[in-house]
Structure 1
């Protein structure tokens, strides 16, 4: 379990670092860059080895914007590069500086001249909603499932996404019902809030790390073992609910199919401070969700 947790932790840290960035090759060197302006002339940038680096992209060509220093004087090569890139519709470089704000203003001006419909004013957030249903099986490792029985589950997901800046992130309300059987008479309803980090994201496939951070569970069982004063064991009925804040991790994937997404998840793989009762986690769900 510790190894699984370490792997999941590594995935979180690694993919938070590359969120909202893409990889480009410039003069044989590979860089991970952020897009500041997306247009006929695009502005890319990032902090590389503690230094701000800026790049201009036109068609498929990427040019680094440089300002080297020679004999105590800055050469301002970036101005010549910008003049060449905007030669079809010149914009004066007299007042442009090699800063993100100045370059953004300059490139926006050029893009508006060549394309009157150009706008770099993107909404800061655009919420989307998805609703889905699922079915699966679980061995409910965080309960006393001494015979490691597999129990059927059904439920629903309500997912909130941002389609602009937070495309790799989602918040999910999951409602899940677990049904007992003759061997393990355990029934439970759980409502949980989950955060998903989509560390692989393509047009058709998302693969995500799921973190369940808070839940309410109401459960009942008719075979709860109670030790009597004479050390005999009596099976009794018990029921109750509890509200828990925790970190329980799982993995999942969404595959675009038709007007929605087929999704699969491997749930409750490992939980911080949770007792798995030495059972290997078996908790799988398969379902389908629609955009609302």
Structure 2
């Protein structure tokens, strides 16, 4: 499994491209903005406080593109701003909207008129990755845990994200170790492949549904109840394709993300032994 993880990391790093993002000062305010189009006229944007904000940069001047609402009508100030910025090579603003795709097309058109050699080809996929460590507790509801004992867990997450078309989706390889104690002598090493749907996504916070759809678990226990009523030992591995659901959240903190997951809440076709799921982990991940 370690070799597989290293191989995936190598492939990802060979293809990794990160959106350009810098800090700009606009009307006395500092904003961290992504570069969508870089040319004679540059298009900048980001989600700020949950709202999409767009800016056009020409020379050293940065103008915010706005569309305020007065008495129920949109004022479309961004069209006048674009007309002023492109007065040297006018581009009609009749059909332009205050959306990223529409503004991108408009800015590309202007840049092409100014410089026929201009090109802003967009890749169909931009992979990024995050690597994190976590720790927590679990009552391992999908194995026999007579006293519902909480056990410590720890591990790593390796997350792949497409930053172009699938920003709300990711695939996660999770390696998780469960540690037994004197009360419940159960140890397990699990490698699982997970899919995450980020149904809440903002500049600083993602909230997601996690689906574990395949896993391999090697476990051992020293207090297994045998058919004759005595205690014995048992160990072995199990490869399972299933649907186990959980919830989680990523919060941007510093150069990475603080993340929290509530794991193994419910599993399709799996016996939870009538136990309420207690499986929480918290950790920190960095972008690679």
Cα distance change, pair 112–201 in 1 and its aligned pair in 2 (3 A): same
Are 2:134 and 2:284, in contact at CA under 8 Å, matched by a contact in 1? yes
1:284 and 2:250 correspond: no
What SS class does the counterpart of residue 191 from structure 1 fall into?
strand
For the residues of structure 1 that align with 2:264 and 2:165, how far apart are their CA atoms? 28
1:175 and 2:178 correspond: no
The aligned counterpart of 2:16 is none
The aligned counterpart of 1:166 is 166
User: Whose Rg is larger?
Assistant: 1
For the residues of structure 2 that align with 1:157 and 1:113, how far apart are their CA atoms? 47
The aligned counterpart of 2:66 is 60
1:249 and 2:249 correspond: no
For the residues of structure 2 that align with 1:248 and 1:242, how far apart are their CA atoms? 15
Are 2:153 and 2:177, in contact at CA under 8 Å, matched by a contact in 1? yes
The aligned counterpart of 1:131 is 131
1:212 and 2:212 correspond: yes
Are 2:214 and 2:242, in contact at CA under 8 Å, matched by a contact in 1? yes
For the residues of structure 1 that align with 2:218 and 2:91, how far apart are their CA atoms? 66
RMSD of aligned residue pairs (Cα, Å): 3.5
For the residues of structure 2 that align with 1:112 and 1:61, how far apart are their CA atoms? 26
How far does the alpha carbon of each residue in 1:238-258 deviate from its partner, in whole angstroms, 9 at most, with x for none?
A: 000011111101111111111
For the residues of structure 2 that align with 1:175 and 1:264, how far apart are their CA atoms? 16
Cα distance change, pair 161–179 in 1 and its aligned pair in 2 (3 A): same
For the residues of structure 2 that align with 1:199 and 1:277, how far apart are their CA atoms? 30
Are 2:133 and 2:284, in contact at CA under 8 Å, matched by a contact in 1? yes
How far does the alpha carbon of each residue in 1:4-57 deviate from its partner, in whole angstroms, 9 at most, with x for none?
A: xxxxxxxxxxxxxxxxxxxxxxxxxxxxxxxxx9898x9xxxxxxxxxxxxxxx
How far does the alpha carbon of each residue in 1:57-103 deviate from its partner, in whole angstroms, 9 at most, with x for none?
A: x93349xxxxxxxxxxxxxxxxxxx9xx879545699xx9xxxxxxx
For the residues of structure 2 that align with 1:178 and 1:105, how far apart are their CA atoms? 52
The aligned counterpart of 1:156 is 156
Are 2:141 and 2:276, in contact at CA under 8 Å, matched by a contact in 1? yes
Are 2:37 and 2:108, in contact at CA under 8 Å, matched by a contact in 1? no
What SS class does the counterpart of residue 227 from structure 1 fall into?
coil
The aligned counterpart of 1:145 is 145
For the residues of structure 2 that align with 1:92 and 1:153, how far apart are their CA atoms? 60
* Runs (5+) with no aligned partner, structure 2: 1-35, 44-63, 69-78, 96-103
Cα distance change, pair 107–226 in 1 and its aligned pair in 2 (3 A): same
The aligned counterpart of 2:4 is none
For the residues of structure 2 that align with 1:205 and 1:223, how far apart are their CA atoms? 43
- Comparing 214-223 with 111-120, greater Cα deviation is found at 111-120
The aligned counterpart of 1:101 is none
For the residues of structure 2 that align with 1:200 and 1:119, how far apart are their CA atoms? 34
* C-alpha displacement of 1:168: 1.1
1:196 and 2:192 correspond: no
Q: TM-score, normalised by structure 2?
A: 0.64
Runs of 4+ residues deviating >4 angstroms: 37-40, 85-93, 104-108, 114-120
* C-alpha displacement of 1:184: 1.2
Which residue of the other structure, out of 220, 227, 230, is the alignment partner of 1:234? 230
Cα distance change, pair 118–131 in 1 and its aligned pair in 2 (3 A): same
Matched length: 212
Q: TM-score, normalised by structure 1?
A: 0.63
For the residues of structure 2 that align with 1:253 and 1:92, how far apart are their CA atoms? 43
